[in-house]
Structure 1
Amino acid sequence: MTEHTHPDTVLPKETVRVGCCAHREVAADAGFYVRYREIVWSLTAGLFLLVGYVGERLGLSHEGAVGLYLVTYVLGGWDLTVDLVRSVRQRRFVFNVDLLMLLAAIGAAILGNWAEGAFLLFLFALSHGLEHLASDRARHAIRALADLTPDVALVLRNGREVEVPISELALGETVLVKPGERIPVDGTVSAGRSAVDQAPITGESVPVEKTVGSPVFAGTVNGDGALEIANERAVGDRTLDRVVRLVEEAQTQKAPTERFADRFSAIFVPFVLVADLLLIVVPPLLGLMSWSDSFYRGMVMLVGACPCALALGTPSAVLAGIAQAARHGVLVKGGAHLENLGNVRAVAFDKTGTLTVGQPSVTDVVPIDGTEEELLSVAAAVERRSSHPLAEAVVCRAAGLPILEAGELQNVPGKGLRATIGGETAEVGSLRLFESPPPRVVDAVVRLSGRSVIV
């Protein structure tokens, strides 16, 4: 078996900057420990912190409690320390809240406040773990979008059906898409008729009828009819590929609050370190206090100056919001736009003239002869075996009515269904299914214009 990739949509597995720390992206199929290692370490650090804190109050020796706190220091501060050392070695060191947090924890230990220092590192490690988890989920959501398109396509070459990798398709080639398959290309229908579910691309809740000359998009799902499609866009230039790139760009765009936090940290951290150094050195030189008292006050200031909530809260919230929106088919191009949603007080929709909930439902039943119940019973008997969204709506509307038995079901591609009920033929579908529909039927369809009509 040969694996085929989408060269322009697959994202590189590389080290990226997320928030304050470097983070290596984790594959979606990685094991539990690999995916959740940071969370596991931070929670384990919190457990040792809790045991040490409670143990001290239940009679545990100070040395025993410090030993437990040391484990928290190692687990909670390992990634932070490794990242800082790496940044120095690679000559990309910057003053940020990471350095301030590490120095504050060390200062707390020097003061003998091991529990406070351990709590700082536990909180920082847990926040980073959750932030990186949200970042990975956002990237996996992007890959899920890219995976909507198949890796291979069925191409008509010299009258034969040939399966070829999607990356080897040439512009202008004819692709055959069978009922129920995902469409692999952006192009125009050259033969056939069907209803296509375009929800992944356009958000339309009802499948759209496609005939010769209709445009189709990669990643959408073909309905009951077979389609021949002329390929018009190369891989990487398809609509879905562009959507994936837009979502990827959204992950790199920082919200105003994030940019403010970065600017604030770049100024605040050096200021705190310089002020802390002066607080430690100047008073003893002036004879105002002893070196030990001065050092103690400097460490207290260092611990109290850590703005961890400012540095960690915004990136985590933005990444989680963008990932959740992408998972539901909503593209938010950057944290700035996500923040602006907080100021929205009214939304005006103008697309199909109606607001939908993404689930078709029957709004009107217009019997030409007989009653509504009889019409619904016949329609539901035929539609019960269909997976079309409109068929499900008919069956749902007919719930509670007598169930009729339909004979052999015949699919008329792009038009509807035909079955035998009680020795008579029942046809359910669009108006095109009928060669010469009665004028009263045509009039009823016209009155219901703007809605999807089943006859």
Structure 2
Amino acid sequence: MASSANMAVNQKIEDHTGPLDKIKPHAELIAASMSGILIAAGWILEKTEMGTLSVALFLFAYFIGGFAKAKEGIEDTIENKELNVELLMILAAIGSAVIGYWTEGAILIFIFAMSGALETYTMNKSHKEISSLMELQPEEAVRIADGREERVHVSELAIGDFILVKPGERIPSDGKIAKGQTTIDEAAITGESMPSSKNPGENVFAGTVNLTGSMTVEITKPSSDTLFQKIILLVQSAQSEKSPSQLFIEKFEGTYVKAVLAVVVLMMFLPHFLLGWSWNETFYRAMILLVVASPCALVASIMPATLSAISNGARHGILFKGGVHLENLASLQAIAFDKTGTLTKGKPEVTDIVVREGLSAEEVLLKVASIESHSNHPLASAIVGHAKETLGQELVHPESIEDVPGWGVKAHYEKEDWKIGKAAFVGKENSEQFADGAAIKLASKGKTTVFAERNGELAAVIALKDVVREETKQAIDLLKSQGIHTVMLTGDSEKTAEAISAESHVNSYIAECLPETKVEHLKELREKFGTVAMVGDGINDAPALATANVGIAMGEGSDVALETADIVLMKNDLPKIAEAIDLSRRMNKIVKQNVVFSILIIMMLIASNFMQFLDLPFGVIGHEGSTILVILNSLRLLK
């Protein structure tokens, strides 16, 4: 059943499908329904004493309703060399017919076929989001070549081609905007409902929707290698990978089926000699045991729940690479976070500007930014960006500029000599005394300071900081409420680490952490807490992500993140970690409910059969009904 569902998902959805293609997903349901109609007709004929014709209809019901399950059971038995529940059901139906219970045997086949159809429906339902994604990528694109527009199939697009995407159209392949400004709905990639503004030079992804402006996009990847396609393949792969619980149930199934068959064989004889039952009653009770002891509900307890949870996560921008990672997430005791780019924005921002008395803050910022615009240092870029944003005027050009590696920069502008850089570059004693020790106070808050000297006198100190993300505090507080210990790993100094950890609300921090030592710290955390997750950017944190029990990458639309972690957040939205843990715990709770419920039903039905309370029709209804209830319970995870 699961394999047929996967095949349906893997097929590319065509624009023109034939009638058979439309009927195929519903084949099991149609067969089960036809079987039910034939059973009803056979039962009516049996009551009117047309026995031969009724038996013929029951035989047709057996064949139509049971063919798919019998074929599946036989093929699986041959392939895996293990008996399975499908064979138990077929044997029970044949046994019922042998002792003259044609109606009961046919009803067993009918309900078993219906539960199989429902399970297939569940699999297809869990794949619905992925099937919908496959439909989102356009088949054609408008390519611009030699000033002309031509409509081509997306498979013909090559890296470096330019395409035109108009408002309301979906982007056919990954690329970057060459011309135009627009707003794009990226929900198909990130799960984020709010549109994202895009400017020339920014990346856009296949399957997303251009909402407002017309734009020209330069293709950066072939259509077969887009982030969109990788997401589809990743989720399909995750849905085919089985969790440890599912693997245990499947291994247990073969042993259990053998045990049931052995007990059934004994029950065909022993009650007659030990309890004085008639041969007919003995065989009848053996057939009921064959039905009610089959672990159908137990087998269906895990896979539908896992698939539903994986699909739910994919719909909300949380990609699980398999059921094993989803299951492990529920048992997390601690999470380690990389600081830069995870808890923080990953880019320094200007937080404070302190100028000498008598000088204009705007004028000093303008000149400092104008000089720093000639440097590619991250701190210089942050100062330039801040000046452009706050001043709203063009930068000026210094008459001369000299870079002093490791210290800062010198410049001359309108009879003024400027020096911009670290404290030692402008005089450490002067920098510490400037503005009543402003620099020392700023450094104690974990901020980096840049000093500006004009004509031999300190003019200003500018403080910068890698700012904590707005959602970080909320995310950490949510994890704490779930009973999870949070740790920050950073290469920053003790003071900076202390300030950032206090601001982000993490329980503890490890400062001056080298990339290679993160792995050692994670091993220590695993020894202390047990199951530990690592959250990083998915590239330079790859060794740490691999060391943790669960590696979580901050995706932000990065296909590199898809390769490195067990779970990917398609948008850098930290609160989604708590959502993923909650989803995992819900899944484990539902799986436990299913397992306990199915075992209790089997035990109750077996006991009722031994006490001769249970008739075959009620055994069939109780057994197959429990399977249907288990599957429906798993479907709740799609919400």
Per the normalisation by structure 2, the TM-score is 0.44
Identity %: 38
2-structure distance, mates of 1:123, 1:325: 32
Instruction: Answer whether contact 1:107 1:302 (CA < 8 A) is retained.
Output: no
Following TM superposition, by how much is the alpha carbon of 1:66 offset from its aligned partner in structure 2, in angstroms? 4.8
Q: Quick one: distance in 1 between partners of 2:329 and 2:309?
A: 11
Shift of residue 252, structure 1, vs aligned partner: 0.6
| 1:32-111 equivalent positions in 2, closer than 5 A | 33-49=23-39, 60-61=48-49, 63=51, 66=55, 69-84=58-73, 94-111=82-99
Match of 2:259 in 1: 271
Deviation at 1:123, TM superposition (A): 1.8
Compute the displacement of 1:126 (Å): 0.7
Q: Is the 8 A contact 1:96 1:265 kept in 2?
A: yes
Separation in 2, partners of 1:139, 1:322: 9
Matches within 5 A, 1:102-251: 102-139=90-127, 141-251=129-239
Residue 135 of structure 1 deviates from its aligned partner by 3.1
Alpha-carbon shift at residue 264 of structure 1 (Å): 1.7
- Residues 297-345 of structure 1 show CA distances to partners (whole Å, capped at 9, x for unaligned) of 644543332222223454444445555665676645444566678889x
Q: Deviations over 1:70-98 (max 9, x none)?
A: 4432332122233445567x766531111
Partner of 1:18: 2
Equivalents in 2 of 1:309, 1:300: separation in Å?
Answer: 16
Instruction: Give the number of aligned pairs.
Output: 339
**Displacement of 1:243 after TM fit?**
0.8
Name the structure 2 match of 1:390: none
Q: Is the 8 A contact 1:131 1:319 kept in 2?
A: no
Whichever residue aligns with residue 74 of structure 1, its letter is F
> Judging changes above 3 Å, is the alpha-carbon distance between structure 1 residues 314 and 116 closer, same or farther for their aligned structure 2 residues?
farther
Q: Residues of 2 paired with 1:51 and 1:340: CA distance?
A: 51
- The verdict on how the C-alpha distance between 1:277 and 1:231 changes in structure 2, with shifts beyond 3 A counting, is same
**Aligned 8 A contact 1:108 1:303 in 2:** no
Alignment-mate amino acid for residue 38 of structure 1:
E
- Which deviations, in whole Å up to 9, do the C-alpha atoms of 1:150-174 show, x marking residues without a partner? 2222233233333332222221222
Q: Runs of 5+ in structure 1 lacking a partner? A: 1-16, 345-350, 354-431, 437-449, 451-455
- In structure 2, the CA distance between the partners of 1:319 and 1:123, relative to structure 1 (3 Å rule), is farther
Q: Which amino acid aligns with 1:81?
A: A
Residue-by-residue CA offset, 1:29-64 (whole Å, 9 max, x unaligned): 4535443222122123234445666887xx544837
Q: What CA distance in whole angstroms lies between the structure 2 residues aligned with 1:303 and 1:146?
A: 41
Q: SS in structure 2 opposite 1:209? A: strand
Residue 103 of structure 1 deviates from its aligned partner by 0.8
The change in CA–CA distance for 1:186 and 1:158 in structure 2 (over 3 A counts) is: same
Q: Which runs of 5+ in 2 are unaligned?
A: 333-340, 344-388, 394-469, 471-639
Query: Residues 156 and 174 of structure 1 are in contact (CA less than 8 Å); yes or no, is this contact kept in structure 2?
Result: yes
* Whole-Å separation in 2 of the counterparts to 1:99 and 1:132: 18
Query: Aligned-pair distance for 1:244?
Result: 0.7
The 1-side partners of 2:104 and 2:321 are apart by 40
CA distance in 1, matches of 2:197, 2:152: 27
TM-score w.r.t. the length of structure 1 is 0.60
CA RMSD after TM alignment? 4.6
Larger fraction in helix: 2
Q: Verify the 8 A CA contact 1:107 1:303 in the aligned structure 2.
A: no
